[in-house]
Structure 1
Amino acid sequence: MNSNSPILLFDSGFGGLTVLSALRAQLPQAPVIYAADTAGLPYGEKTEAEVAARVAGLLGRLAERYQPRLICIACNTASTIALGMVRDVLETPIVGTVPAIKPAAAMTKTGTIGLLGTAATIRQAYVDNLEAKFANGSRLLRHAAPELVAAAECKLRDQTPDPAVFRRAADGLRQQDGGENIDTVVLACTHFPLVQDELAEAFGEQVQFIDGAQGIARRIAFLTQGQSFDRQGDDLAIVTGEGEDDPALLHGLAQFGIGRIARF
């Protein structure tokens, strides 16, 4: 393995930066290429067939061009729909992102868990299976909050999202039968931790949040243990749509150790 062979992080937008942040704590010297399918954003409003085709096609081309040592699909929607397909067609090790239902079940005191995700994520049988396997008798209430994706992208560019977006997300869970008992919320989209502070204000201090970034980072570290890393300078971000000339975006990415943006 070449020491400068990158880890490729892939997301529909820039929510996967939350995974990158956790990964940096585990592997500070690992070279990373961050790939954002900004031309396809948002995935959560697309059909399963559309998401699967985009993810498989893009990752195939990215793997061929950049020869990554490992690919992380840092997107809950893409992972719950396309992870198995991509693993079947690529030889590169692939780590997916799934809703953190198991740790949430260990955290809850009331036995009622909320889950915020995209419309595509919350309807997947994959999530049903996670609930059946790991909820341990806890009640799981789901709500699609696609507005949070745009809010996170907005905040990354140093703009102020509309506070009503976060109130609607909280109300979407609270107003369900039993929602008043929620004490733990799973952020089942990698974008959502970027606006966790705003969500915490909307939900109130009695609610705790959990996402999968730390577990993903530990999994990547485990799969690459013993490998040598040589990170030379800032990392590269690749976008499929507009953004390579956006100074606000570049400023936001700099906080995560990304210094360049290129169009794919």
Structure 2
Amino acid sequence: MHILITDSGVGGLSVCAYAERFLRTTSVDQPVSLTYVNASPENDFGYNSMGSRDEKVENFDRFLHIVADRYQPDLIFVACNTLSVLMADTEFLRENRTPVRGIVEIGVNRLLHDLRHTPQSKVVIFGTVTTIEEQTYPELLKHGGIDEDRIIAQACPSLADTISEDRQGSKARQKIREFVGEALDRSTTPAAEFLAYLACTHYGYRKEFFAETFAKRGIAVQVLNPNEFVANDLFGSLKQELYGSGREGDIQVEFVTRYRIPETALETIAFFLEPISPRTIKAFQKYTYDPGLF
């Protein structure tokens, strides 16, 4: 089975790392190829830098057509929250050529479950400007029966880039304190507990900073990093394809990008993910550079 994972940048590589670990530790007995393709056009120009929503959708649609034709995956998983909220409007999805799943659907299902089981709780959705402006998470949660006053959507401009470039963590910690403070200041009613949902794949690298910021304010919180639980949901639906042959499966990982990854990002992301999936980090460090990718 060939699964293509994509994100606008390198944040979603953590999804790939957790996927590889899940497959490795659950004794998959089919060969699986995980190809991570960076959908960002340039290191300093991603989808959140584009001028309009139409431009974002058009560029992502073109990307999906190109990588589907080139790699012929059995499944495309969109690990990026920004791109997940845009993909519904792509021609590629309407053509139904290749199965596509996104991180938003999995995250919303988890949030609905947790919010229904903790009726006195509130959720703060931390995301990029595009993810928050799209209002996809709040709308889907309200559609699922969650009261609007239990939902806070907090944009975190430039936090993803800061995390990628800040291995030491002081700059990221300061930004997270500011964004958490802004979110809590907008909470007009008390809550027994908060769910802090990290709706950007980069944010999970600094999950502990979100937890400590709430704790310092004396607020009970459960920090949800969807990167950690996506693999269980994704591969749970593929049991028939991945298990049951009695053979030992082989897992291959490849990382492909159209721009050279800065050394600081290589070092920082490797620092975060090496304990989870050495195989993924090896692929990242030996990435395929293809400036004509799309």
Normalized against structure 2, the TM-score is what?
0.76
Residues 22 and 231, structure 2, Cα contact 8 Å, conserved in 1: yes
* 2:15 matched residue in structure 1: 19
Per-residue CA deviation, residues 81-126 of structure 1 (Å, 9 max, x unaligned), is 1245232235111111114331441464633221111111112253
Kindly report which structure 2 residues correspond to 1:17-56, keeping only aligned pairs within 5 A, or say none: 17-28=13-24, 30-40=32-42, 41-46=45-50, 47-56=52-61
Residues 138 and 153, structure 2, Cα contact 8 Å, conserved in 1: no
Q: Give the CA deviation at 1:78.
A: 0.5
- Counterpart selection for 2:80 from 75, 79, 102: 75
* 2:250 matched residue in structure 1: 231
Greater CA drift, 221-230 or 139-148: 221-230
Kindly report which structure 2 residues correspond to 1:197-236, keeping only aligned pairs within 5 A, or say none: 197-204=208-215, 206-228=220-242, 230-231=249-250, 235-236=253-254
Residues 104 and 210, structure 1, Cα contact 8 Å, conserved in 2: no
The question of 1:96 aligning with 2:122 is answered no
- Tell me the C-alpha RMSD between the 2 structures: 2.8
Distance (Å, rounded) in 2 between the aligned partners of 1:180 and 1:145: 23
Whichever residue aligns with residue 169 of structure 2, its letter is: T
Per-residue CA deviation, residues 144-202 of structure 1 (Å, 9 max, x unaligned), is 002321133125xx453503111111112111142764621111112211111122222
Greater CA drift, 212-221 or 191-200: 212-221
SS at match of 2:82: helix
Per-residue CA deviation, residues 26-85 of structure 1 (Å, 9 max, x unaligned), is 323532111113435543343321221221111211111111111100011101112452
- Counterpart selection for 1:160 from 169, 173, 198: 169
Distance (Å, rounded) in 2 between the aligned partners of 1:27 and 1:201: 31
Distance (Å, rounded) in 2 between the aligned partners of 1:180 and 1:93: 42
* 2:120 matched residue in structure 1: 110
Greater CA drift, 223-232 or 192-201: 223-232
Q: Label 1:123 to 1:79 Cα distance change in 2 as closer, same or farther (>3 A).
A: same
Distance (Å, rounded) in 1 between the aligned partners of 2:197 and 2:59: 26
Q: Label 1:84 to 1:104 Cα distance change in 2 as closer, same or farther (>3 A).
A: farther
- Bigger Rg over Cα: 2
Distance (Å, rounded) in 2 between the aligned partners of 1:189 and 1:6: 24
Residues 45 and 120, structure 1, Cα contact 8 Å, conserved in 2: no
SS at match of 2:103: coil
Mind listing any 5+ residue stretches in structure 2 that lack a counterpart? Answer: 243-247
Q: Give the CA deviation at 1:251.
A: 7.5
The question of 1:241 aligning with 2:259 is answered yes
Q: Give the CA deviation at 1:131.
A: 2.0
The question of 1:146 aligning with 2:157 is answered yes
SS at match of 2:287: strand
Distance (Å, rounded) in 1 between the aligned partners of 2:133 and 2:203: 18
Mind listing any 5+ residue stretches in structure 1 that lack a counterpart? Answer: none
Whichever residue aligns with residue 48 of structure 2, its letter is: G
Whichever residue aligns with residue 121 of structure 2, its letter is: G
Distance (Å, rounded) in 1 between the aligned partners of 2:121 and 2:176: 23
Residues 108 and 183, structure 1, Cα contact 8 Å, conserved in 2: no
